[in-house]
Structure 1
Amino acid sequence: MSLRLLRYFIFFLGLTFFGLGNAIAVNVQSLGLHPWEVLNVALFEWFGFTIGTWSVMCGLVLVLIVFVVDRKYINIGTFLNALSIGPIMDFFLHLNILPHETKHWWLNILILLTGIIITGIGGGIYVAAGIGAGPRDGFMLSVSEKTGLSVSWARIVVESLILIIGFILGGPVFIMTFAYTFIQSPVFQFSMKLMRSFIASLEQKRKGQFEVPL
C-alpha cells in the first residue's frame, strides 16, 4: 500500500470514529452535546430529515462561505469531511446497536464520555492523516485570519454563536455541552500526536527501503 493511500485510509478511519462518537453522544443528548451537534439536532427536530443530513448541509454551507472568504482552506479533505461524517453518524444511529439513555445518570454520563473520547480520537486521527481540515475548522481559521483573533478565540466566538442559535431552536444544551472541549481537546491532541508519529515512522521506514548503500 502506498503512503498516500495509507493516509486516505487513516483519514477515513478517523472520520468513522468521529461519526461513531457523535452517534453515541446523540443517544444521551439530554446531558448536552457539542455546539455543532446541538444545532444539528435542533434543525432535525424542527424540519425533519436526519441529524447526519443537517451535519452535511451545515458543512457545505461553511465550505461555500470559506470558498468566498478565503478558499486556501478548502481542499479535497474539506469536502470528504463535510460529506462523510453525517452519513457515518446516521449509519450507526440506524443500526440501533449503540447504548441509549438509561434511568441511571452516572451510566448516561459514562456513555456520553465514551462518545466524547471516541470523537476526540477520531478527530486526532483524521487531522494527522494530513488530507485537509474539515469545513468547521476551515471556517474558524478564516474567521481568525480575517478578524485578527487567535484560532482559540475564533473557535470560542463561532461555537458560542452556534450554541446560542441551537439553544434558541430548542437543541439539547446542558452541563456536558460546556465540558465537551475540556474533555475532547486533550484526547484529540494525544491521538493526533500518536498517529503523526506512526505515519512518520512508516515514511521513514519506506525511505530506508529505497536508500542505496554506498
Structure 2
Amino acid sequence: MSLFYRSLFYLLGLLILSFGATLTIKANLGAGPWDALNVGLSHLIGLTIGSWIVIIGIVLIIINALLLKKRPELLSLFTVFILGFFVDFWMSYLLNSFNYFYFKNQLILLVVGLIIIGLGIAMYLQASFPLNPIDHFMVSIQKKFGMNIMAAKLIGEILALLFAVLVNGPIGVGTVIIAFGIGPAIQFFHPYCSSIMNRLSHS
C-alpha cells in the first residue's frame, strides 16, 4: 500500500508541477528560469518545450553525478520524460481550451502557477522516486555545500537564469518572482505533504 501512495504522490506531483509551470509561462510576465531556458531553446533551435526539458534533464543528470561523485541517476530519465510529456500536454491543452486565462490578471496567474509548482514539487518529493534532475540539482547543491533547500534552490534558479538570458528566453518580472519564490513555496508545502504521506503509509 505504501508503494501505491508513493506512486500516486509521484504522478500527481509531476502533473501538478507541470500544470503550474505552464501557467507561469502563459502569464507572459517572464517564465521561471528553467522554463525560460527551455522556451528560449525551443524558439532558438526548435523542438517542443517538453523535448528540451528532457535534453536539459540529461545534462543535469551528468552534472549531479559529478557534484555528488556518484554514478549518474539514470532512473531520473523516467521522471524527466514524464514531466516533459505533461508540460507539452498542458501547453497544448491550455492553448486550445483555456484562452480565457489571457483575460485574467497576469500577476495573479503567475503567483497561482508558482504556488502550484511548489505544491507539485513538495508532493512528488515524498515518493522518494528518482527526482526531476532540476530538483536533484537542488538536492545535490544542498548536500555538497550543506545548505537548506531554499538556498540551494535559489542558486540553481540563478544559474538557469544566466543561461536563459544567453538563449533569449522569456525573462521578466515574473522570472525574478519565481526565482525567489519557488524555494519558499516548496518549503511551505513540504511538511504538510510529508505529514499526509506518513499518515497514509501507516494507515
The reply to whether TM is greater than 0.5 is: yes
Tell me the TM-score normalised to structure 2 length: 0.85
- Match of 1:71, SS state, is coil
Find the counterpart in structure 2 of residue 35 from structure 1: 33
1:31-180 superposed matches below 5 A: 31-69=29-67, 70-71=69-70, 74=73, 76=75, 78-95=76-93, 96-99=96-99, 102=102, 107-143=105-141, 148=145, 150=147, 154-180=152-178
**Do the aligned residues in 1 keep the contact of 2:40 with 2:168 (CA within 8 Å)?**
yes
- Letter of the structure 1 residue corresponding to residue 14 of structure 2: L
Greater mean deviation of Cα atoms: 16-25 or 135-144 = 135-144
What is residue 185 of structure 1 aligned with on the other side?
183
Structure 1 residues 97 and 71, CA, compared in 2 at 3 Å: closer, same or farther?
farther
Q: Structure 2 CA distance, aligned partners of 1:144 and 1:183?
A: 17
SS at 1:125 equivalent: helix
1:68: how far off?
A: 4.5
User: What is the root-mean-square deviation in Å for CA atoms of aligned residues?
Assistant: 2.5
Aligned letter for 2:6? R
- Structure 1 CA distance, aligned partners of 2:30 and 2:10? 27
Task: State the 1:179 CA deviation.
Answer: 1.2
Distance 1:191 1:157 in 2: 20
Rounded Cα–Cα distance in structure 2 between residues aligned with 1:149 and 1:202: 30
Q: Is the 8 A contact 1:21 1:117 kept in 2?
A: yes
**C-alpha separation between the residues in 2 aligned to 1:138 and 1:168?**
23
**Is the alpha carbon distance of 1:182 and 1:48 closer, same or farther for their aligned partners in structure 2, counting shifts above 3 Å?**
same
Structure 2: gaps spanning 5 or more residues: none
User: Quick check: 156-165 or 111-120, which moved more?
Assistant: 156-165
Distance between the aligned counterparts of 1:61 and 1:172, measured in 2? 21
Structure 1 residues 110 and 155, CA gap change in structure 2 (3 angstroms): closer
Change over 3 Å in CA distance of 1:72–1:9 after alignment to 2: farther
For the 8 Å contact 1:17–1:118, the answer to whether it is kept is yes
Relative to 1, partners in 2 of residues 1:60 and 1:8: Cα closer, same or farther, differing over 3 Å? same
How far, CA to CA, are the matches of 1:155 and 1:194 in structure 2?
19
Aligned-pair distance for 1:183?
3.3
**TM-score, normalised via structure 1 length:** 0.81
Residue 201 of structure 1, CA deviation = 1.2
CA 1:180–1:84: 2 relative to 1, 3 Å: same
What CA distance in whole angstroms lies between the structure 2 residues aligned with 1:20 and 1:112? 12
The residue type equivalent to 2:98 in the other structure is: L
Contact 2:157 2:179 in 1 (8 A): no
- What count of residue pairs does the alignment treat as equivalent? 199
Larger Rg: 1
Deviation at 1:159, TM superposition (A): 2.6
Question: Matches of 1:120 and 1:112 in 2, distance apart?
Answer: 12
